Amino acid sequence: MGFFNIKGTVQPLTTLSQLGKKPHTLLVPQIEVEASDRYRGLHYNDLELCIGCGNCSTICMNKAIDMVPVEGIEPKKGDSGLRPRVDNGRCCWCALCVEVCPTGSLRLTKDYIFVSENPEDFLWTPGVSNPDGYQRASFISTPQTTLTELHRVPMPELEGEERVKSFAEVVLGYTEEQAREEARRCLGCGLCTEACPEHMHIPEYINAIAAGNDEDAIRIIYDNNPLPEMCGKVCTRRCEEVCAVTKRGEPLAIRWLKRYAIERAETADILYEIINPEIKPDNGFKVGIIGAGPAGLTAAYYLKLKGFDVTVFEATNKAGGMITWGIPKYRFPVDSLYKQIEYMEKVGVKIKYNTRVGKDISFEEIYNNFDAVFIGVGFQVGWKLGIEGEDLEGAMQAINFLREVNNVFLKDENGNFVRDEKGNVIKIKEPNKIVEIGDKVVVIGGGNVAIDAARVARRLGADVTILYRRRVKDMPADWEEIEGAEAEGVKIIPQGIPVKIIGDENGHVKKLVYLKAEMVPDPKGGRPRPVPIEGSETEIEVTAVIAAIGQGADYSFIPDKFKEKIQIERGRIKTNEFRQTGDPKIFAGGDAVNRTADAISAIADGFRAVKGIEKLLLNKE
């Protein structure tokens, strides 16, 4: 064999030297090897941190994640009560669920061995099936790695110094680019929809904005909210409180996005053209609505669409209720308001202005002439402070103060204002002529009304101090409003309880005396209570004291025989889920019904009352 290859035969044999070496593979019983610190093994979920937003389920294209109820976890505000359940037979451990989890509760662990004879066992709820998985969590999401965009597109605003010079709108609104960018942050989980009293279709309209379909967004918004421009500017936005992104970052600017969408329709005509509402033919029923506030207008609009003949009785010369009279114009300009009302009137809502029920027309007359009545009168009367000196000249109710100031803006003939090309009031020539408040104003209270009053007083040229019983963080007012007030130079004195107002010889307020308070934890677990500190009386010089500690309703227009039937408890009208009162023909909504006392709840009431009225008159479920 001439081609016998000696090297080729001997060389492979040298590998026999490997025989003596320790094997570097592992023997069969030793199958459990510690996985690396970044291993993508079985899931673990921190059940407390998880809010059940379902993003993990949405991103998973293997359909390996279902959202299921878990024992011991109840749905609550900002938590769907559901938790992800992973089908380990479908999971491919790509860990996209971890990357999109806005809270960071979902993680993958180092565990990779799971044996069971029962196929059902492979469906497991991370965190419930492996409560101790926390210790072995390996592939985790941090604020640096998460795919959730944590930072909001900043809203352009007027500078603090510029703001106090006029009543021009402070918030300038997103540009198209900014709105698209902000809308693209939305994860689409819909926790906001649950939190919104009106259950607006938030993920849907944000999606439309993100995709560039602003007109679609407007139509989606108008599906259950006829006053979106108002909501887009001044809503209390419970939706943003529960936004899934909040857990680690700033919530979606849901309110500003709605504002952006609605501002695309510049006039009521364009709005009508876009929405092109389908108005059903007259069904022969008449509904009377008392009060053209958010609740009344909502009920009126949707009833009209459904073919009812609607008449709204409004005591003043402008529709809108508190959003017209209570909210300062730097937050909600006159034009925005008019646009919405004009659109409603185009649809066919009849508003009778300057018609005060109980004076210009009796309640009984409305009750007898209409097939159903909706009461949406709101809270018009401010609560008294209950301290000495409250009746002195210069002590006033915030709500009256705001009404006076807004009244000026609504009267176009007033020559005291210079308007810019948009028609916004930009300069006040003689600010003190509107309401005499002097230059040292103290506002008492910590809610949105207090902040509004303070910021308005600041615009009228006064130095303003807010006196609040509790800490700043306890203030029920919107945090953006508080920040806005501070930026405009409003001083806040927290933990101060007013004791008395001292007047001068002319009967005008001169000094306000208050006690400092300390916060005492509530033994029952409620929020801490302020307790005055003995001997801590402090005086401040004042030229006006504005009380903003709450409001109540005035039901004097309702005759006693109806009052008995509709049941008024502690200032509020009792209603069922359809906002129907003790008298089946009478419905009610707005501040007079719900505790939250904000516009979006009022809109929700109006919307529910429409269903109730439909059920009552058309016998429709």
Partner 1 sequence: MRKKATTIYLGPQHPGITGNMMVRLEVEGDTVVKATTHVGYLHRGFEKLMERRNWLQSFTIVCRICVPEPDPNEENYARAVEEIEGREVPERAKYIRVLVLELSRIQAYLLWYGGQAASTGLYTMGQWSIGDRNYILDLFEDLTGGRVYHMYIWPGGVRRDLPKGFKDKAFRVMDYLEKRLDDYDRLMFDNAIFQKRTQGIGVIDPEKAIEWGVVGPPLRACGIRSDVRIDEPYEVYDKLKFEVPAFKGGDVWTRALIRRFEIRQSINIVRQVLEQMPSGEYYNKIPNPHKWALPPGEAFVKTESARGEFAYYVVSDGSTHPRRVHVKGPAYVHAITLLENLLVGQNIADVSVIMNSLGTCPPEIER
**Residue from 46, 58, 381, 487 that binds partner 1 (CB under 8 A)?**
58
Does residue 30 touch partner 1 according to CB under 8 A? no
Does residue 489 touch partner 1 according to CB under 8 A? no
Q: Which is nearer to partner 1, 137 or 460 (CB)?
A: 137
A 10 A CB-CB count for 395 gives 23
Residue 530 C-beta-side C-alpha neighbours within 13 Å: 18
- What DSSP assignment string belongs to 494-529? -SEEEEEEEE-TTSBEEEEEEEEEEEE--TTSSSPE
Residue 67 CB, nearest approach to partner 1 (Å): 16
Q: Which of 577, 578, 582 is nearest to 561 (CA)?
A: 582
Residue 166 CB, nearest approach to partner 1 (Å): 37
Does residue 149 touch partner 1 according to CB under 8 A? yes
3-class DSSP state of 5: coil
Q: Which is nearer to partner 1, 47 or 59 (CB)?
A: 59
Question: How close are the terminal C-alpha atoms of the chain, in Å?
Answer: 100
Q: Which is nearer to partner 1, 188 or 582 (CB)?
A: 188
Q: Using CA atoms, how far apart are residues 291 and 310, in angstroms rounded to an integer?
A: 12
Does residue 247 touch partner 1 according to CB under 8 A? no
Residue 298 CB, nearest approach to partner 1 (Å): 30
Does residue 22 touch partner 1 according to CB under 8 A? no
Touching partner 1, residues 119-138 (CB under 8 A): 138
Does residue 57 touch partner 1 according to CB under 8 A? no
Residue 100 CB, nearest approach to partner 1 (Å): 6
Touching partner 1, residues 82-111 (CB under 8 A): 92-96, 99-100, 108
Radius of gyration of the chain (CA): 31
Scanning 54-62, 160-168, 433-441, 518-526 for contacts with partner 1 by CB under 8 A, the matching segment is: 54-62
Scanning 5-13, 379-387, 562-570, 585-593 for contacts with partner 1 by CB under 8 A, the matching segment is: 5-13
Q: Using CA atoms, how far apart are residues 398 and 201, in angstroms rounded to an integer?
A: 34
Q: Which is nearer to partner 1, 145 or 368 (CB)?
A: 145
Does residue 292 touch partner 1 according to CB under 8 A? no
Q: Give the C-alpha distances (Å, rounded to integers) separating 405 from 68, 135, 398, 453, 457.
A: 53, 61, 11, 10, 9
Residue 449 CB, nearest approach to partner 1 (Å): 37
Scanning 53-61, 71-79, 395-403, 612-620 for contacts with partner 1 by CB under 8 A, the matching segment is: 53-61
Under 8 Å between Cβ of 592 and 230? no
Touching partner 1, residues 193-212 (CB under 8 A): 207, 210-211
How many residues touch partner 1 (CB under 8 A)? 44
Q: Give the C-alpha distances (Å, rounded to integers) separating 234 from 97, 237, 278, 383, 515.
A: 35, 8, 28, 23, 33
Q: What is the DSSP letter of 252?
A: P
Residue 57 CB, nearest approach to partner 1 (Å): 12
Q: Which of 617, 621, 551, 567 is nearest to 375 (CA)?
A: 567
**Residue from 1, 9, 526, 619 that binds partner 1 (CB under 8 A)?**
9
Q: Give the C-alpha distances (Å, rounded to integers) separating 173 from 230, 263, 350.
A: 13, 9, 32
Scanning 32-40, 162-170, 360-368, 506-514 for contacts with partner 1 by CB under 8 A, the matching segment is: 32-40
**Residue from 18, 30, 118, 135 that binds partner 1 (CB under 8 A)?**
18
A 10 A CB-CB count for 236 gives 21
Touching partner 1, residues 155-184 (CB under 8 A): 183-184
Does residue 5 touch partner 1 according to CB under 8 A? yes
Does residue 12 touch partner 1 according to CB under 8 A? yes
Q: Using CA atoms, how far apart are residues 138 and 334, in angstroms rounded to an integer?
A: 56
Residue 534 CB, nearest approach to partner 1 (Å): 56
Q: Which is nearer to partner 1, 59 or 519 (CB)?
A: 59
Q: Which is nearer to partner 1, 256 or 332 (CB)?
A: 256
Can you give the three-state secondary structure of 21-90, one letter per residue? Answer: CCCCCCCCCCCCCCCCCCCCCCEEECCCCCCCCCHHHHHCCCCCEEEEECCCCCCECCECCEEEEEECCC
Q: Which of 397, 405, 317 is nearest to 356 (CA)?
A: 317
Residue 82 CB, nearest approach to partner 1 (Å): 18
Does residue 139 touch partner 1 according to CB under 8 A? yes
Please say whether the dihedral angle defined by the alpha carbons of residues 563, 566, 567 and 573, taken in this order, is positive or negative. Answer: negative
Q: Which is nearer to partner 1, 163 or 185 (CB)?
A: 185
Q: Which is nearer to partner 1, 110 or 459 (CB)?
A: 110
Q: Using CA atoms, how far apart are residues 217 and 201, in angstroms rounded to an integer?
A: 10
Residue 448 CB, nearest approach to partner 1 (Å): 31
Given the rule CB under 8 A, which residues bind partner 1? 5, 7-9, 11-12, 14-15, 18, 24-25, 35-40, 55, 58-59, 61, 92-96, 99-100, 108, 138-139, 145, 147-149, 183-188, 207, 210-211
